[in-house]
Amino acid sequence: MISFESEKSINNIYLFIDKEGIDDLIGYLNYIKHNNESFHLVLGNEIEENPIIKGNSVVGHVKLIYLDEQDK
């Protein structure tokens, strides 16, 4: 489980993540690192559709992009 959430009136993002979600996220991060790639986290696929905190808005899409030293 991976849930990115934001509070409506505050510029703040929560990442709620369980054990399996941590393993998944590490896998995604290692993938983009080892392949110099990007990876999409999609609502209902990689990202939970319902917020953990009632009233929060879920972030529907997150793109992880690896930047090596030459890309910065």
In angstroms, what CA-CA distances link 24 with 15, 19, 21, 41, 59? 14, 9, 5, 11, 17
Contact between 70 and another protein by CB under 8 A: the answer reads: yes
Q: Could you say whether residue 60 binds another protein (CB under 8 A)?
A: yes
Residue of 22, 10, 1, 7 lying closest to 59 (CA atoms): 7
Site string for another protein, 27-46 (x = CB under 8 A): xx--x-----xxxx-xxxxx
Q: Give the residues lining the site for another protein (CB under 8 A).
A: 24, 27-28, 31, 37-40, 42-46, 60-61, 63, 65, 67, 70-72
